[in-house]
Structure 1
Amino acid sequence: MLLRGFVRPVERCFGRLGGGDGLMWHMDLKPHSSGEFSIAVVQANNSLEDQGQVITSPSATFVGVYDGHGGPEASRFISNHLFPHLDRIASEQGGLSTEVIKKAFDATEEEFTHLVQRSWLSRPQIASVGSCCLVDAITGDTLFVANLGDSRAVLGRRAVNDMTVVAERLSTDHNVSAEEVRKELAELHPDDEQIVVHTRGVWRVKGIIQVNKICFN
């Protein structure tokens, strides 16, 4: 397995561990396979819809941040299902790769779609929830970054000639505000000319806010 002997998730849901004050919460430095990490979150909504997890082993580190939209159901589902799919598929494929991460996202989305189909008559609100996801996986000397929606990964590194910290963007937003994304979505839905709509000065996918797409760097 990719993370055979992995420890229990250091954090599965923001707010369970660490310290905080009111709507601010943080976790102090903890060890992982390549060094140390910390997490901090500021709650902006009435209820905390976001989820996060860090899972470590001697050989790999997995970090997931899931931004909930319209409620916490989708982000909680991803927190509970994405990593098991990633671990299973990586084991079947002999290690972590871009294709493995894509398949794990696809499997998680397919499961959630089935959940919505089974639940929407009794819980119609679940059909309108979603999540932007940001996943980092470190194994050996390789960093994988997967982004769904508008979540963004930024690497802080020390400049070569001085001690300043340089911010380097690692992921690409995938949003229908970009013309090429609108064209892509139209090609994926040739039978629906109104799949992308322009309302109140903003481009949106018809009926939802985010586009479910994974971008890799």
Structure 2
Amino acid sequence: MTKDKYFDSLKQIYPSVSRETADDLIGFETLFKKWSKAINLASPNTLETLWERHILDSVQLFKLAPQAKQWLDLGSGGGFPGVVLAILLKETGGSIRLVESNSKKSAFLRNALAQFQTHGQVVNARIESCYQQIQVPEIITARALASLDKLFELTEPWMTKGAKALFQKGRDYQREIDESLLNWKFDLVRHGSAIEADSVILEISNLQRR
């Protein structure tokens, strides 16, 4: 795919994206593929659709809260959406913290954040140990990390103090919502995914235990 095609596909998801940001995101795709050979960030099959299924899928989160300056990504893994958001946040002066318990993946994340000169920070720790260390963010993200009910348990200390969540979920999302309603009350807005027809982004605020 040519750079122009990369840029055009990005603009379809986030129309105001700059050429400089597009170049960084293309560079991140290259970096991810390089590191993935060494530390198995993703299966070989995943690499074939990395741009569409992972990078563009992460970009669409940003357009839901472009004014937010303080973000937190949990279970960042290979950098989706954390590193992608960090690159996008360069345009607005925002910052993001990436929480990842795996040391090798944390090393990759630090390398990526530094290479693209982002205002991001990696916290190599379990989420449960970070509540005192990380101040309440404006937006919390987590991708393919846990069920919605479990995500609420993990994010409760931040969300009950005003943080909003943008959680990406697949086709089974309604079941997860129904199960979580047994234990939690919250405001919910569903956003259809621009990448996967049967997936959604759940925008959640005002979380409370029942």
Q: Could you state the TM-score of these two structures normalised by the residue count of structure 2? A: 0.32
Choose between structure 1 and 2: higher helix proportion: 2
